[in-house]
Amino acid sequence: MFIPGLPVHVVQRGNNRQAIFFEQEDYLVYLSFIAEAIDRYGCYIHAYVLMTNHVHLLMTPLNHDAVSRSLQYTGRHYVPYVNNKLGRTGTLWEGRFKASIIDSDEYLLACYRYIEMNPVRAGMVTHPGSYQWSSHACNAFAREDSLVTPHANYLSLGATAKKRAQNYRRLFEAQDDEGELEEIRLHTQSGTPLGNQRFRYQIETSLGVRAGQVSRGRPEKGI
């Protein structure tokens, strides 16, 4: 369960870290299903990347169960598509997705960058603009992407699409902040809200549950 209006960083992996995309058509099919899902259940996607064996989505739900239902809908359609195509059966995903509610004031744009830099950190490309299956072309170069809805924090980067894209690109000029990367990974892995103590308390009070625990130590690689 999530809080309407608050962004969520979602990671969903292939079972045993196996591939979930096998050729170009698969990426397009997944994108079509997730687009149908967010339209049906009420979610915005601000940033995304489709890696070979996992996906990252930065989403804002419009109701409490919109994220879960959107991913369930996508899985119900995408998994049979893959199984039929490959002549296989069984699950594709590694259990339930992992997700962290994001404090937009402190971490949202960092999360945008974290997601779109994933192919660079994985050594697949040298620049995020070279990777086809992400929101970077939309956010950094103002190219049309019907899946992407800009968050208010992104819109605050400039008065025009050109200016916003220009200022957004500047976020990618700096070297990775390893501490920030680890923090995003740890909070996503644990399901803990990513923000200060006051933000976490507000989230837990709103949800009426304890919202995960950050486990210090080596985070999972490749998140």
Residue 1 within a domain = no
Owning domain of residue 197 = 8-207
Residue 177 within a domain = yes
Residue 221 within a domain = no
Instruction: Give pairs for 219-222: CB < 8 Å, separation 24+.
Output: 219/182, 219/185, 219/186, 219/189, 220/185, 220/189, 222/17, 222/51, 222/54, 222/122
CATH number for position 71? 3.30.70.1290
Residue 200 within a domain = yes
Number of folded domains that form the chain? 1
Residue 215 within a domain = no
Give residue 71's pLDDT.
97
pLDDT tens-place string over residues 171-185: 999 888 899 999 999
Sheet containing 98-101: give its strands across. Answer: 43-50, 54-61, 8-13, 98-101
Residue 216 within a domain = no
The pLDDT confidence band at residue 145, using thresholds 50, 70 and 90, is: very high
Residue 27 within a domain = yes
Instruction: Calculate mean pLDDT across residues 194-208.
Output: 79
Please state the pTM of the whole predicted model: 0.91
